[in-house]
Amino acid sequence: MGVAVCSLKWEAARTGSQRIVYDSDGYHLVRFPYEESEESYDPWGMHDPGKAYPDPESGLIVPSHDGWGTVSALVFWAPDSRPVEYRARFVRDPLGSSTGYDSTATTDSAPTGGNQFRTYVWQMFVRKDTPLGLKVTARAAGDVPVPAALTLAEFKLAVQTDVHVPE
């Protein structure tokens, strides 16, 4: 086998706004619905439809295989004058249900005029049954989290399952 893929999409214009709730780490776990109308793709069952959107577990991709994972995300923020910084990170086990919270690839950026459009990519080993999540935050002066509105988000995982090792 080559690559197992999960691609999730949420868009406020289709599903409605997403309430921004900051967890104890100061980040919001982005949630994704299970409807096909959102252009999601999940033939390997990595996004459990047994949990209702916007349950926190609707923000998880659970790898179907061990392997080399490429995670990517797209985040659109609505115009908002309060944030002076936008951050995102990928997190292994963001809800602490298996191996423990482990963030990686934290990225920050200053706002530009109008809407804020961001893309993120990271590669790492992933383990079957260790969930992954996309977490974001908007920060005002003094590093204060503000509930700036998201308008669109995508979260994707491609797992290469045939990683070769030297003999």
pLDDT tens digits, one per residue of 56-100:
999 999 999 999 999 999 999 999 999 999 999 999 999 999 999
How confident is the model over 35-61, as a mean pLDDT?
86
Query: What's the CA dihedral at 112, 117, 122, 126 to 10 degrees?
Result: 140
pLDDT value at position 37?
65
pTM of the model: 0.95
Residue 165 lies in a domain: no
State the Cα–Cα distance between residues 22 and 142, nearest whole angstrom.
16
* Containing structural domain, residue 100: 3-160
Whether 167 is covered by a domain: the verdict is no
**Any idea what the CATH number is for the domain that residue 62 is in?**
2.60.120.40
In this structure, what DSSP letter does residue 113 have? S
User: Which is it for strands 116-126 and 132-140: parallel, antiparallel or unpaired?
Assistant: unpaired
pLDDT computed for residue 107 by the predictor: 96
When divided into structural domains, the chain yields a total of 1
